[in-house]
Structure 1
Amino acid sequence: MNLHQLRFVREAVRQNFNLTDAAKALTTSQPGVSKSILELEQELGVDIFERHGKRLRGLTEPGRTVLQSVELIIREIESIQRIGKEFAAQDSGNLTIATTHTQARYALPKVVQAFAQQFPKVRISLLQGNPQQVAEMVLKDQSDLVIATEAIADIPGLISLPCYQWEHVLVVPPGHPLLQSASITLHDLAAYPLITYDSAFAGRSKIDCAFSDCGLQADVQLEAIDADVIKTYVECGLGIGIIAGMAFDSQRDTGLRAIPAGHLFGSNVSRIAFRRGAYLRSYVYTFIELLAPALTRDLIEQAMLGAAHRGDD
């Protein structure tokens, strides 16, 4: 058994059991991948893959168990390799962050700027998607960190820590009647068409629950994943926007007015998470602390130790 065989098994699964695509991803030959997998199966005495002729169709029951061990072994090896690289070059490398559009556009620019000034040799990559998608990126080792809302709090395999709280705001054109209201209610909002986030983003579930708990039906005319899109259509007169408070800038959004809506929809928590068992380079701890000063290296390591102990129980 060797590491190449384990990598071939993992990549075959990642490429939807297409050995040609797996070989291309690993810059090797398809016959070589096929032969190595067969040799591993012979050594183990079980079939890892179900086959139709020479084509792989899926994992066998023992194959699924083998894959779990393969993933664990390769991750540990990659962690060892990262440790070596860090000690060889403490201030250079790559940092990949998976996050939602709202975080990338409004919460991270100043943090990334400060980090880049401190670590100019570190290459930063931002990957975007909905909370479930960006969590998967970390679980699959495509990213070092994930930053999103509460949706990532309880995903198995992740250690998730709170960063900061935020509330929604209503955005309306100047002169809108709601600007004259001393205390806006959900009944007031239910009378207007609304423009807000897609159901997977930025606390949308809390918006829906707030209306539902009051026995009201929100008239959502348009959904988007991007607060800038929401604000654009509010300016076009299509309705009242509901966006994350961080997404409104009075200096930039001069054609709109913001109304606090925390009393209607409650507060939300943005969280940062990383894969359980991951090795975090020194500058990753620095990035996390720049984003959330309360999350010191000691606190993060305590969370990692606690997760390890829970896994042993």
Structure 2
Amino acid sequence: MNLHQFRFVQEAVRRNLNLTETAKALHTSQPGVSKAIIELEEELGVDIFARHGKRLKQVTEPGQHILESIQVILREVANLKRIGEEFSSQDSGRFSIAATHTQARYVLPSRVARLRGLYPKVQISLHQGTPEQVAQMLLEETAEIGVATESLADYPELVTLPCYDWQHVLVIPEAHPLAQQQRITLEMLAEHPLITYHPSFTGRTRIDQAFAQRHLTPDIVLEAIDSDVISTYVLHGLGIGIVAEMAVADDSKPGLVYHPMGHLFGSNVTRVAFKRGIYLRNYVYEFAELLSERLPRKLVHKAMTGHYEDYAL
């Protein structure tokens, strides 16, 4: 047996047992993939996959156990490579970050710039996506660290730690009737067209829950993933906006008024995540510390070695 066979099995599962897609992803031929998997099954003496003709239909029960072992082996092989890179060249390498748009646009730039100042030989790749895509990039080891508000804590294969908390902010034109209100209620908001985030992004769940708990139906006329887009449409009179506070902290627009909405929508927690069991290089720990004082190297290392449950926010 060999690592190529292990990778073929793992990729076949990732590609929903489609060997054509598996071969394409691994830059090889479909017959080659099929032959390698069969040879591994013959060596192990069990079927990893149940078949219908030449097509893979499902993973067998022994195949599930084999797949778990393959994942551990390939993860440790990747760790060996990282350790080699770490000690052969302590201050260089490639660092991949996965984040949602809001984190990439408003939170990460200053931290990435500071990391580059500390490690000028490190090449940084920034991948943007939905919270679910961020989690998937971590699971597939496309990224070493993920930053998002939603979903990351839902994956047991990830070590997820709180990074910072934040609240939503109401964005209102200066001439709007609500602009001079001292304390805005959900009932007031429900009377006006609203512009806010797509349901998968930036704490939108809390907004929906707040209205639902008061049996109110908000008039959401536009959904977006970009806070700048939301503010722009507010300026054009389409409605009033609800955005994340980090999106307006240093970038307020003339003609708009901002009201904190923590009393209505509560506090949100942005989290960082790592794939459980992977080896983190020095600059990954450094980047976590740059993201938040809540993430010192000692704590992150403790979490990665299995003691994440006693993290105190």
TM-score tier after normalising by the smaller chain length: over 0.9
How many residue pairs get aligned? The number is 310
Greater Cα offset, 62-71 or 111-120: 62-71
Task: Identify if the C-alpha distance between structure 1 residues 146 and 250 changes in structure 2 by more than 3 Å, giving closer, same or farther.
Answer: closer
Task: Identify if the C-alpha distance between structure 1 residues 50 and 241 changes in structure 2 by more than 3 Å, giving closer, same or farther.
Answer: same
Q: CA deviation at 1:172?
A: 1.2
**Equivalent in the alignment of 2:289:** 289
Q: Any conservation in 1 of the 2:159–2:308 contact (CA below 8 Å)?
A: no
Distance in structure 2 (CA, Å) of the matches to 1:186 and 1:235: 22
**Map 1:40-51 → 2, pairs under 5 A:** 40-51=40-51
Q: Per-residue displacement from partner, 1:121-145 (whole Å, max 9, x unpaired)?
A: 1111111122122112101211101
**Equivalent in the alignment of 2:218:** 218
Q: Per-residue displacement from partner, 1:60-104 (whole Å, max 9, x unpaired)?
A: 332233222211110111111111111001111111111110000
**Equivalent in the alignment of 1:93:** 93
**Equivalent in the alignment of 1:107:** 107
Q: CA deviation at 1:309?
A: 9.7
Q: Per-residue displacement from partner, 1:103-129 (whole Å, max 9, x unpaired)?
A: 000011100111111111111111112
Structure 1: runs of 5 or more not aligned? none
Q: Any conservation in 2 of the 1:159–1:307 contact (CA below 8 Å)?
A: no
Q: CA deviation at 1:252?
A: 5.0
**Equivalent in the alignment of 1:64:** 64
Q: What letter matches 2:114 in structure 1? A: A
TM superposition score normalised by structure 1:
0.93
**Equivalent in the alignment of 2:240:** 240
Distance in structure 2 (CA, Å) of the matches to 1:212 and 1:8: 47
Q: CA deviation at 1:297?
A: 0.8
Distance in structure 2 (CA, Å) of the matches to 1:25 and 1:154: 27
* CA RMSD across the alignment: 1.9
Greater Cα offset, 193-202 or 127-136: 127-136
Task: Determine whether 1:187 maps to 2:187.
Answer: yes
Distance in structure 2 (CA, Å) of the matches to 1:220 and 1:25: 40
**Equivalent in the alignment of 1:38:** 38
**Map 1:1-313 → 2, pairs under 5 A:** 1-249=1-249, 251-307=251-307
Secondary structure of 1:160's counterpart equals: strand
Q: Any conservation in 1 of the 2:302–2:308 contact (CA below 8 Å)?
A: no
Identity of aligned pairs, percent? 58
Q: Per-residue displacement from partner, 1:186-230 (whole Å, max 9, x unpaired)?
A: 111111011111111111111111112222111111111111221
Task: Identify if the C-alpha distance between structure 1 residues 90 and 246 changes in structure 2 by more than 3 Å, giving closer, same or farther.
Answer: same
Distance in structure 2 (CA, Å) of the matches to 1:88 and 1:216: 60
Q: Any conservation in 1 of the 2:234–2:241 contact (CA below 8 Å)?
A: yes
Structure 2: runs of 5 or more not aligned? none
Secondary structure of 1:153's counterpart equals: helix
Distance in structure 2 (CA, Å) of the matches to 1:127 and 1:166: 23
Greater Cα offset, 60-69 or 89-98: 60-69
Q: Any conservation in 2 of the 1:276–1:307 contact (CA below 8 Å)?
A: no
Secondary structure of 2:57's counterpart equals: strand
Q: Any conservation in 2 of the 1:250–1:257 contact (CA below 8 Å)?
A: no
Q: CA deviation at 1:23?
A: 3.0
Greater Cα offset, 56-65 or 282-291: 56-65
